[in-house]
Amino acid sequence: MTISSQFKRTFIYALGGGVMLLALPAAQADTAPVAPQVNAKSWVLMDYNSGKILAQSNPDARLDPASLSKIMVSYVVGQAIKSGKIKSDDLVSVGNDAWATGNPVLRGSSLMFL
């Protein structure tokens, strides 16, 4: 075997291997990742930039607010006060159906007051 034919053979193998390596990510891009296993009654994973729902489980279930909801309300109210949209002494009306008193679902739950 001459050096020229050995070089050609090595070049062809290297070129073929390079093409296969370049095609591998393209083949994997079509497969979606497996949805995460979340220990929750309902959850939704959304892309922040596009708003596209990436994964979900029981997304339309009506559930009472949890602690994370209370933290988020606190954050949103704080940002609204900081930006001047509301003031800390503004009055907020709460309907009877939203008030925790007498609501057996909220009995024993933590409450948040603004």
**What is the average pLDDT across 33-50?**
86
Tokens representing 27? 């083949």
pTM value is: 0.37
Residue with tokens 């029981």: 58
Question: For the ranges 23-37, 49-63, 67-81, which has the lowest average pLDDT?
Answer: 23-37
Higher pLDDT, 40 or 25: 40
Which pLDDT belongs to residue 63?
Answer: 80
Higher pLDDT, 14 or 88: 88
Question: For the ranges 28-32, 36-40, 61-65, 81-85, which has the lowest average pLDDT?
Answer: 28-32
Which pLDDT belongs to residue 86?
Answer: 92
Number of residues that make up the chain: 114
Give the count of alpha carbons within 13 A of 48, CB side only. 0
* CA-closest candidate to residue 73, choices 100, 108, 113: 113
Question: For the ranges 15-19, 25-29, 83-87, 105-109, which has the lowest average pLDDT?
Answer: 25-29
> Do 41 and 61 meet the contact criterion of CB atoms below 8 Å apart?
yes
Which amino acid type is present at position 89? D
Q: How far does CA 15 lie from the centroid of its chain? A: 41
